[in-house]
Copies of this chain bind each other. A is one copy, B any other.
Amino acid sequence: MSDAKKLYRRLVHLKSETNPQRRSIRDGFCGLFGHKVNVLDHYGKKLETLEDNVRMEQLSVAGKEVPAAFVSFKSRLGAAVALHIQQGTNPTEWVTERAPEPQDIHWPFFSSSFIKRWISKLLVVVAYAAVTILFLIPVVIVQGLTNLEQLETYFPFLESILSLTVVSEVITGYLPSLILQMFIAFVPPIMIMLSSVEGCISFSQIEKSACIKMLCFTIWNIFFANALSGTVLYRFDIFLDPKEIPGILADAVPAQASFFIAYVVTSGWTSLLSSVLFRLSPLICSIIKKPFSGKDGDELKVPSIPYHSHIPKVLFFGLLGITYFFLAPLIIPFLLVYCCLGYIIYRNQLLIVYAPKYDTGGRFWPTVHNSTIFSLVLMHIIAIGIFGLKNLSLASSLIVPLPILTLLFNEYCRKRFLPIFEDYPLECLIKKDRQDQNDPTIAVFYNKLSTAYEDPALMPIRHPRSTDDHNSPLLQAGV
């Protein structure tokens, strides 16, 4: 399909070419031997063969039965019944899911069985754990760069360069978080890739899953690995030792305050300005791509918000604020500037630049809530550890009820508010259904519905190439 599109573009490009020299090409090996042929004819024929092949393939696929379907219901209540009540006696045989918006469907897992999706999910969890652990290697290097003494012992030949004040200041102050930033820039695409083979049937699910993965990854690999790295490197098993965690955290976390303040500046301010406001990387990408992609520069799409890379970043700065506000209050003004900048920039981007690709329905909020609860509990644990270290056991034990109360509050919120994010209540469904009954445009909607969900692989090819009947759509009505 994409081959045909490329050929079609080249054909359009060639037709607009005025130089007759460029419109002919030598047939044969590498275009060096053989006689000259008209390029238009050559590519035209190629395109025809390709499209015929695609049509043959489509015909064979269209005849196949697929063990999955989109089912539309006359009422929202009917859809909710099908969605919430287990269909068959075997709960893995008939699986019902809310259909995503038509443009939001991720087709590869559309007709996969429950078992295939379950196993994919397991494999992705294993792969995710592997990525998260392997990522510690660049973090270790970064950590090495922040400690000049360590670097000098590992690479003694650098000693003369490192003794320069400018070099050492750049290395200790700015370089470490820049390198970390560079490595982290590769992570969101990896997370999206992992999530896309997890068994999700829509891009929104993939992005939500990638967002959670990215958040855990950030907290583990930036917060914990940086805060504990000295300890983590030599004793990887501290997380198997829960009762020592408060002490270790209290010992290690305050020591890294200057690193995280620098991180807020380099990662927070810079990335907010450069990547969100100026959108430098898409600009560079489009400049590089332009010469290669012919004359369709005007096909530039309106960008959508990459939730999976932005939400974890914002939440991570929240975590830094909550955990460091009593350890190193100096972080607060930096975060305040970040938050004010963020408000202005994101408001501008959301209103003017970004176009939403799908309606999230507020489904990212529970992630935000959970992250905040986690930050609070982590803060309490660090506080317990710090009071423990300073031999204030009364203060330490007075804080113990705080995490318990926070977790109880979380539990209450799960009961009270989480169901609203998961599905619509009967009250709203029936009210909407009654409104629909009196709506004259609903018949038009049902008509649209029958053709809304079509596998792009089965869509007819719509190049305005010639007037012959090859061009008529293969499937007249919706499948």
Residue of chain B at shortest CB distance from A92: B416
Interface residues of A (CB under 8 A from B): 77, 80-82, 84-92, 114, 118, 122, 237, 240-243, 408, 412, 415-416, 419-420, 423-429
Contacts A85-B84, A91-B419, A419-B91 given; indicate if A118 touches B412 (C-beta within 8 A): yes
Copies of this subunit? 2
Residue among A77, A241, A429 having the largest count of chain B Cβ atoms under 10 Å: A241
Determine whether the beta carbon of B91 is less than 8 Å from that of A427: no
Please pick, from B240, B408, B428, the residue contacting A89 in the complex, using a CB distance under 8 A: B428
Residues of B within 8 A of A92 (CB): 415-416
- Measured between C-beta atoms, what is the minimum distance from A25 to chain B in Å? 58
Specify which of B77, B80, B408, B420 is in contact with A91 (CB 8 Å cutoff).
B420
Task: Give Cα distance in the complex from A429 to B424, angstroms.
Answer: 23
Complex alpha-carbon distance, A70 and B92, angstroms: 33
Contacts of A242 in B (CB 8 A): 240-242
**Is the CB–CB distance between B118 and A425 below 8 Å?**
no
In angstroms, Cα B121 to Cα A408, docked, is 12
- Determine if A415 and B89 form an interchain contact, defined as CB atoms under 8 angstroms apart: no
User: Chain B contacts of A77 at CB under 8 A?
Assistant: 81
Q: Please, which residues of chain B bring their CB within 8 A of the CB of A420?
A: 89, 91
Identity of the chain B residue whose Cβ is nearest the Cβ of A80 in the assembled complex: B85
Given A86-B419, A423-B86: A243 and B243 interface contact (C-beta under 8 Å): no
Q: How far is the CB of A118 from chain B (nearest CB, A)?
A: 7
Who on chain B is nearest to A84 by CB?
A: B84
Closest B residue to A89 by CB, please name it. Answer: B425
The answer to whether A118 and B415 touch across the interface, beta carbons within 8 angstroms, is yes
Known contacts A84-B84, A89-B425, A91-B419; 6 further A-B pairs (Cβ under 8 A): A87-B427, A88-B427, A89-B420, A91-B420, A92-B416, A240-B242
16 contacts between A and B (CB under 8 A): A77-B81, A82-B426, A84-B84, A85-B426, A85-B429, A87-B427, A89-B428, A91-B415, A91-B416, A91-B420, A91-B425, A92-B416, A122-B408, A240-B241, A240-B242, A242-B242
One of B86, B419, B424 near A425 (C-beta < 8 A): B86
Q: How far is the CB of A238 from chain B (nearest CB, A)?
A: 10
Closest 6 CB pairs of A and B: A240-B243, A91-B419, A86-B425, A84-B84, A85-B426, A240-B242
Bound Cα distance A425, B424 (Å): 21
Which residues on the B side are within 8 Å of A84 (C-beta)?
84-85
A85 touches B91 (CB 8 A): no
Output the least CB separation between A90 and chain B (Å): 7
Give the nearest-CB partner of A424 in chain B.
B86
Minimum Cβ distance to chain B for residue A95 (Å) = 10
How far is the CB of A293 from the nearest CB of chain B, in Å? 45
Inter-chain contacts of A88 with B (CB < 8 A)? 425-427
- Which residue of chain B has its CB nearest to the CB of A422? B86
Cβ-defined contact, B87 with A425, below 8 A? yes
Residues of B with C-beta under 8 A to A428: 89
Q: Which residues of B contact A86 (CB under 8 A)?
A: 419, 423-426
Q: Which residue of B lies closest to A418 (CB)?
A: B91
Chain B residues closer than 8 Å to A114, beta-carbon distance: 415
CB-nearest residue of chain B to A115: B412
Interface centre among A91, A237, A424, by most chain B C-beta atoms within 10 angstroms, is: A91
- For the complex, what is the distance from the CA of A350 to the CA of B91, rounded to whole Å? 32
In contact, A90 and B416 (Cβ under 8 angstroms): yes
Kindly name the residue among A237, A408, A416 whose own CB sees the greatest number of chain B CB atoms within 10 A: A416
Q: Which residues of B contact A82 (CB under 8 A)?
A: 426
**Complex CA distance for A92 and B114, rounded to whole angstroms:** 32
